[in-house]
Amino acid sequence: MSVINQMLKDLDQRKAGVGSAQSLPPPVVAVRHRLPLRLLIGLAGIVIALALWWFGPGISSKPMTPGLLSQAELPADALQQLPTEGLGKPQLNETDSKQQFVTEQRSELPYATELPELTSDPTQTINPELEIVVAEQAPQSEPSKPVQAAMTSGESGEASEPALPQLRVERVALSPVEQQQRLSQQARQAEQAGRASEARAYWQQLQAMAPQQSEAYVALARMAQQGGHEAGSQYWLQLGLEQGADVHQLVPLLAASYARQQLWQPVLQVLELLPETGLRPAELAMRAAAWQQLGQYQAALTAFEQLGQLEPHQGRWWLGMAISSDALGQRQQAALQFQRSLQFGEDLTPASKDYIRQRLQELN
């Protein structure tokens, strides 16, 4: 009985404990945590769904490569079997994956036609102005190995000086006129320096290159005459006349060369190459002297009178007129002309003045 009574008591106590537990209000903390947790779970699900819908094609297009897995995610035996050379190298680089992602997403955007086309070469640019600038720039050659070594060694020290541009010597073909000017300059410089043979060679080259120019003939004749070779001087002058060079420069020199040798007939023959009009005093004087030496006194008197009109204060012209008039028997006129020659005889020699005084005494 005592046992049964004890069991009834225990049963009554349990019922009393259960009733008191059911009468208590639910904990506030459980209610506060339960409602926000459900709300957060729902929002997280919505965000995940939107993310999968938006980024789903790009994520699915990315291939899984061994390089995306770290060594911590692989088992130890797999790490020993993997090769060490190709570990961690993806098949597609970051630029290709971005380009593929943009290409797939571009067709779904409403403004896809406004996006620029991406080039396959990452070094190309989209800016047309920059392309023009790059195209106009001269290609720069890479520095040689010694230059690279010097630049590498100088990075830690002082800044090295910029490399000078390489100079290139180009030979430019001279025009015929420029070649003639160069030969003339070289010949003159050699002649001034006393290198006669070298100067003569330059003048001969110029004469062969420009046979109708008188400069080379005049120079060669002058050098021959200075060397005492009058015949050589006459040769070059005659050759120039045959080649069609300027007669106004060659004829007086050739006539003077003949006059120095007292070859008066060749003097007149050469002077006939000049036009009658426009004769200079030196040319007219040689013609008058040649006529006088050849006994043609009337022609000589006419020539000396022309010279007296051109240069009336030259005593030598008055002396030539006096000698021609004296030879023609015009004594009174000759005496007057002898007096005029003494009056303007500053250019006469003492021997000529003595002859004039002697003839004045005889004529008076």
Domain ranges of the chain: 176-246, 275-364
Mean pLDDT of 139-146: 52
Q: Tell me the torsion sign for CA atoms 102, 105, 106, 107.
A: positive
Residue type, 47: V
For the structural domain made of 275-364, what CATH number should be given? 1.25.40.10
Residues 6+ positions from 85 with CB-CB distance below 8 Å:
none
- Most confident option among 51-60, 89-98, 222-231: 222-231
Of the chain, the percentage scoring pLDDT greater than 90 comes to 47
Tell me, what's the pLDDT at 92?
Answer: 46
**CA–CA distances in Å: residue 151 to residues 3, 52, 145, 160:** 107, 53, 10, 7
For residues 95 and 93, give the distance between their C-alpha atoms in angstroms, rounded to a whole number: 6
Q: Do domains 176-246 and 275-364 have the same CATH topology?
A: yes
**CA–CA distances in Å: residue 310 to residues 159, 182, 307, 314, 347:** 81, 40, 5, 9, 16
Q: Tell me the torsion sign for CA atoms 311, 316, 322, 328.
A: negative
pLDDT exceeds cutoff 90 at 215:
yes
> pLDDT: is 220 or 174 the higher one?
220
Mean pLDDT of 312-323: 95
pLDDT exceeds cutoff 90 at 204:
yes
pLDDT exceeds cutoff 80 at 315:
yes
Each residue of 94-141: pLDDT tens digit? 445 444 443 444 444 333 333 333 333 433 333 333 333 444 444 455
- Domain 176-246 sits in CATH 1.20.120: no
For 85, the token pair is 């050379």
- Most confident option among 27-41, 82-96, 106-120, 224-238: 224-238
pLDDT exceeds cutoff 70 at 319:
yes
* Residue 240: band (very low, low, confident or very high) from pLDDT cuts 50, 70, 90: very high
3-state helix, strand, coil in the chain (%, to 5): 70, 0, 30
Within a 10 A sphere around the Cβ of 92, how many other Cβ atoms? Answer: 13
pLDDT exceeds cutoff 70 at 271:
yes
pLDDT exceeds cutoff 80 at 77:
no
